[in-house]
Amino acid sequence: MAEQAAGLLGRRRARGLWVRGARQLGFAKADEKAVTTDKPAALENFTKAVELDPGMTDAWLGFHAAGGDADTALDKLVAGVKRFGEERDADKRRLSSSFRAGWWFTHSLETTDHVWHAEALRRLGAGNAAGAAEATAQVIEDLRRNFLEAAVAMNRSEFETAIGILRRIPTDGHLGIEAQLRLGMLLATVEQWSEAETILRQAAGQQLNSFVAVDAEYYLGFVYRGTNREQNAIRQFEWVYERDNSHRQVAEALADSNVRLSTRRTETRSTTAPAAPVIRRGSPSAPALHRQPDWGAVQGILNELDRNVGMQDVKQQVSAVAAQVRAGLMRAERGLPTAKLGGHLIFAGPPGTGKTTVARVVARLYCALGLLAADTVIETDRSGLVAEWIGQTAVKTNEVVDSALDGVLFIDEAYALKKKGTSTNDFGTEAIDTLLKRMEDDRDRLVVIVAGYSEPMAEFLEANPGLRSRFSTRIDFPRYTADQLREIALRLVESRGDHITPDAAASLTAALDQVCANGRIDELGNARFIRTVLETAGKHRDLRLFHSPGFPTDLELVTLDGSDLKSAIQEILSF
């Protein structure tokens, strides 16, 4: 009886941890207050939950969504698939993750069909076609099962079987669009030119997935070549090359009319790259990977970034960086040569707009993509790189770079390394030269992000001819609006377990309107201003309660009122 009671208590505690983790990932129910997203804390709660109840598959789903080891999570989801959805149904709470569902698309992970889909592709990537077929047989949805059956047949080089299956799949949604591309590609491979041309034209004309569209145009070039329309083929390859000059096999196809499709079976590379027809000539120049990409983690990181207040342009540009990296990796995984992937970035904008936060996101993103071995960020500035004596700056800079290897080096106010009008003998120049050399020597182990105000950063790039070519991607961080800062404040208050009264909120709103209108918000540090105001208001609250008679209630201990906010704002703005 004691053991049974202990087991029930453990499961009850596991459920509580599961709910807490789900809310920390942003999966709150309609009648609940949203909490600040905290992925590391969510991962910790899900980890504790599965320690208490190893068979709680919904906790393993949360573990997967929070960035835990994807293979471990999928092992547990498959083993405990009968309990999948148990906690979500009981609590009436939505929780999902995501996984790489094909060459060019991700999919939510929230049903048993999704679990078997992910498992089938994993087995396929490991070269276990028979195991993949067994997993595929568990899928109930016809469309999804057909897609996976075709992938298994392609892996086995059973092209006619794959073609027959793909013909049955409607061209709706990402899965259908990719199935259409695969069908056209296979038809071209077995020289069924007329149908291949029709299918590939349809895939190239769809607007849902631009990666599929470019690939379809690429294979159309081989259709033209196979039907003795060489001039059309040349124009087609030129069109693809103009849109993606890293697609170097296109350049080879342009230079040599003997380059054609082959039916030779390719080796299995990963779950994201089922065996597919390859080009007869050339070999891939794959980017240096420290591990296979975790596409579920990548999507989770982007989703986490998306939940931040404001920064719409920043979110779009970071997603674009991820898309470019993904496209290059996909080409390499499928046996198509790709250009070297550049990861160094410029973050331009005033203080307190999220540059350091996004640098940490980029580190995690590049690590999930396999481009970096770790997601560490080493933060520094001029004082950390430049010494006071001749010959010592290179030593100091090299030491900092060494500490950042396999991760990200974030240099704040990088423009201070070479200010406009300073002497060419300035030690900052030595730091820049040393940094550029290390960026080249350790290009597979280091990503450098330089940050600072927009105009000085533009001047910084002129300090050395190598800077502009190394930092080809710039992300601009605009100042926050008053409404966005107010939302940040309310989220921060809630995350600290505090409560803010209506008159306190009104005082904060008035102050934000004022400092945003007069331009002082950059000087005050944007979001840092919010943190300073709330910390100072907390100090004034504690002082107010200290001088009040009697003992404060629990609510009073966590409540910021109008006088607290007014005193804090007056104190800060008086400086």
Tell me which CATH code domain 295-476 carries.
3.40.50.300
The pLDDT of residue 120: 94
Question: Rounded to whole angstroms, how far apart are CA atoms 155 and 277?
Answer: 10
The pLDDT of residue 292: 66
Instruction: Round the average pLDDT of the chain to a whole number and report it.
Output: 82
Per DSSP, helices labelled H in 426-517 are 427-441, 454-461, 465-470, 482-495, 502-517
> Parallel, antiparallel, or unpaired for β 377-380 and 473-476?
unpaired
Residue 544 parent element (H or E): helix 527-546
pLDDT (tens digit, 9 = 90+) per residue, 298-312?
888 888 888 888 888
Region 433-448: mean pLDDT is 85
CA terminus-to-terminus distance, the chain: 66
482-573 has the same fold as 106-279: no
pTM of the complete model: 0.50
Which range of 285-289, 337-341, 545-549 scores highest in mean pLDDT? It is: 545-549
Instruction: Tell me how far CA of residue 303 lies from CA of 7, 310, 515, in angstroms.
Output: 35, 14, 31
For the chain, how long is the longest CA-to-CA vector? 95
φ, ψ for residue 71, nearest 5 deg: -65, -45
Region 517-544: mean pLDDT is 88
Query: Residue 282's pLDDT band (boundaries 50, 70, 90)?
Result: very low
The pLDDT of residue 7: 55
Region 458-486: mean pLDDT is 83
The pLDDT of residue 19: 92
Specify the CATH architecture of the domain 106-279. Answer: Alpha Horseshoe (1.25)
Percentage of the chain surpassing pLDDT 90? 24
> Parallel, antiparallel, or unpaired for β 261-262 and 278-279?
antiparallel
Question: Rounded to whole angstroms, how far apart are CA atoms 446 and 436?
Answer: 11
Tell me which CATH code domain 482-573 carries.
1.10.8.60
CA atoms lying within 13 Å on the CB side of residue 185: 26
Question: Rounded to whole angstroms, how far apart are CA atoms 67 and 377?
Answer: 18
Tokens of 236: 């087609």
pLDDT (tens digit, 9 = 90+) per residue, 206-261?
877 777 888 888 899 999 998 989 888 888 888 887 766 555 577 778 877 888 87
DSSP secondary structure string, 89-147?
HHHT----EEEE-SSS-EEEE-SHHHHHHHHHHHHHHTT-HHHHHHHHHT---HHHHHH
**Residue ranges per structural domain of the chain:** 2-95, 106-279, 295-476, 482-573
144 versus 554: the higher-pLDDT residue is 144
Instruction: Tell me how far CA of residue 282 lies from CA of 289, 378, 456, in angstroms.
Output: 20, 39, 45
